[in-house]
Amino acid sequence: MDAGAPDLARHAALDARMVAAARGIRVLTLTSWQASVQQGFLAEAATGRPRLPRVDYPRHDFSDARRELQAVADAADPAHPLGRYLVDSARQWDVAARMLEALGTPAAGALSVALYGRPDDPLPGGGPTTRDAARHFVDIANELDHELLAPEEQVTISATALQLQLQNALDAFFGGRVVAVELDPDMIAKAAAGAYRIRLRTGAAYSDYDRRQLLHHEALVHSLTALNGRAQPLLPSLAMSSPRITATQEGLAVLAEQITGSIDIERMKRISLRTEAIAMAMEGADFLQVFGYFRDAGQDAAESFSSAQRVFRGVPVTGGAAFAKDTVYLRGLVEVHTFFRHALRDGRLRQCRRLFAGKMTLDDVQAFEPLFESGALLPPRWLPDWVARANGLAGLLAFSLFANRIRLDRLSGPPVPEPAT
């Protein structure tokens, strides 16, 4: 028997205990608002007299789960890659549980920052902050001449039509009905993804960019990594959306949008506006002010409400706190893109594929390398085409590596013709 087998078995048993303890700690589900809150707010906003929405959160007590999570962390060996993974994961689940116990209070906002970070956190490499990056993309989007948009970019798709299109694409990818696409009239968000189900908001209108974004971001990253994680006999927790993997998951999903040409500047603007709105809320802006910020940025009333409620999930709508999850998108994108470039430079593109073997962080996939090599962790059963085709991925990353060496501020622009006299 492998000399490491007892350690693997012990940590696998601890992982099963962690999964059982964390099963009810559903961050996005328990912080979400009912659709009736949106309906009431929009009806008042239409009269020109909007009021702060009232959201009542049920009280939660996760003390038993948190004690079990602490027991798992105490029993794990932090010197073993699985032990370190379990310690970090259990501690993050504990923070998430305490955040859910504090829903509706400023403490929930502070705990969400502990999970997801702040808008003014620096990006990898000590460069600009996430908020700086957000303002950059908003400025570029605002400068775009909308007359340049092709007609097909402005055609909308109904939720019913999109359901059919996505279902056909997913059935073809998986070779059968593995992930179901369903319509949900009670959603505020336009879409949500789980391992076996993608929900679309009934009555919403989507663009072709939305269609491709949902396919490559939601289905072929979020759902796919959950499915591959469920196939891991050693670590079933790799199927779970632990708070600690959020930045890597969202960064990987946005990178998938970029590489497949499924993202447009308006999508980057929406992500960036949320980052700025979180900063505003932390600085004291209330729900009405943040709603107005999205309206002034060009979103309609329904989308502005949806965007604002993402900022105030689980925290007081009166300002001074925010639900910080949406700060991870830009930071995660930079982190994952940098990881992919380093993997190409170091001849380790296999690690990029292994990121799809379950829901894990960038540090996890490197620490787990001996476990993948030994077969204790399985390679991903399903891979998106852009990752499976190594030559194409390498070509994109190779150009990115070279382009980063070019200093745009040292390049002169094209000559400007003299005005006619």
Residue type present at position 86: L
* Beta-sheet strand order (sheet of 197-201): 180-184, 197-201, 191-193
pLDDT of residue 183: 95
The DSSP result for 95-145, as a single string, is HHHHHHHTTTSHHHHHHHHHHH--TTSBPTTT-SBHHHHHHHHHHHHHHS-
pLDDT at 407: 45
CA distances from 216 to 164, 253, 398 (A): 16, 7, 22
At 275-331, the pLDDT tens digits run 999 999 999 999 999 999 999 999 999 999 999 999 999 999 999 999 999 999 999
Nearest to 192 by CA among 327, 28, 27: 28
Task: Let me know if 244 is exposed, middle or buried by CB neighbors in 10 A (0-12, 13-18, 19+).
Answer: buried
Question: How many whole angstroms separate alpha carbon 123 and alpha carbon 204?
Answer: 34
Phi, psi at 216, each rounded to 5° = -85, -30
**Whether the Cβ atoms of residue 100 and residue 115 lie closer than 8 Å to each other:** no
Query: Would you say the pTM of this structure is higher than 0.75?
Result: yes
pLDDT of residue 420: 52
Q: How many CB atoms lie within 10 A of CB 272?
A: 26
pLDDT score for 228: 97
Q: What is the pLDDT of residue 418?
A: 52
Residues, the chain: 421
The predicted pLDDT at position 411 comes to 45
Q: What values do phi and psi take at 180, rounded to 5?
A: -95, 140
Residue 3 has a pLDDT of 40
Is the torsion defined by CA of 321, 326, 328, 334 positive or negative?
A: negative
Per-residue pLDDT, 349: 85
The token pair at 268 is 């980057």
Are 326 and 274 spatial neighbours (Cβ–Cβ below 8 Å)?
Answer: yes
User: Measured between alpha carbons, how far is 18 from 219 in angstroms, rounded to an integer?
Assistant: 26
Structure tokens at 136: 């950059």
Closest CA relative to residue 375, chosen from 225, 233, 227, 221: 233
The stretches in the chain having pLDDT less than 50 are 1, 3, 406-408, 411-412, 416, 419, 421
Q: Strand pairing of 205-206 and 157-158?
A: antiparallel
Q: Residue 318 is encoded by which pair of tokens? A: 């009166």
Summary count for the chain: helices (H), strands (E) = 20, 5
